[in-house]
Amino acid sequence: MKITKINIPGVLIIEPEIFGDQRGYFYESYNARKFRKSGITEEFVQDNQSRSSFGVIRGLHYQINPMAQTKLVRVLDGRILDTVVDIRKNSPTFGNYFSVELSDENNKQLYVPKGFAHGFSVLSETAVVFYKCDVFYDPGSERGIRFDDPDLNIDWQIDRDQAVVSEKDLNLPFLNLAEMNFIYE
């Protein structure tokens, strides 16, 4: 397993070791022992899966403390642009975003720690996204930031006229008005 740190502290790209032959392939997508050795100590308690069509943009979502979630995201089928935004006050990268393509071909996973808003856009005809969470979903703690916040200026790699966004996500506030209670340490 290869773990790569990015330019925003805490976010990691995880690439499994893939064993393939004429029958197909095998890889270990999660192994608590190996993750702990790499410094990922969360105990994941909930698995979520979504299926979306081309042009769907989901996010940017998060739960505030004390119900904040760490997520481990991967794609089972298709291709997405997975994006995180640092929303930890006092962070040197506050308001910065990072995007990475996750697909059923590259098998990369994105580790999203607490203190980050998360979203993705679907770049293939359809995509099935799977993610683990270390805290249960709590509707009262759910918050978000608009995907098209001009201060973030995220390139979702989807033309605006092709974007499919839920009414709920269209009504999220911009970053400067969003409720967040994360502190960078």
Min mean pLDDT across 34-43, 52-61, 129-138, 162-171 is at: 34-43
**Superfamily per CATH, domain 2-183:** Jelly Rolls (2.60.120.10)
- Report yes or no on whether pTM surpasses 0.85: yes
Residues linked to residue 12 through DSSP beta bridges, in sequence order: 5, 111
Tokens for 4, please give them. Answer: 């790569």
**Beta-carbon neighbour count of residue 33 at 10 Å?**
7
DSSP code, position 140: G
Known catalytic membership, residue 61: yes
133 has pLDDT over 90:
yes
Known catalytic membership, residue 111: no
Alpha helix stretches (DSSP H) within the chain? 32-37, 167-170
DSSP code, position 164: B
pLDDT at 68: 98
**Average pLDDT of 146-167?**
97
Read off the amino acid at residue 165.
V
Catalytic residue among 61, 62, 111, 118: 61
Min mean pLDDT across 30-34, 84-88, 147-151 is at: 30-34
**Beta-carbon neighbour count of residue 89 at 10 Å?**
12
Q: Indicate the domain borders of the chain.
A: 2-183
pLDDT at 1: 87
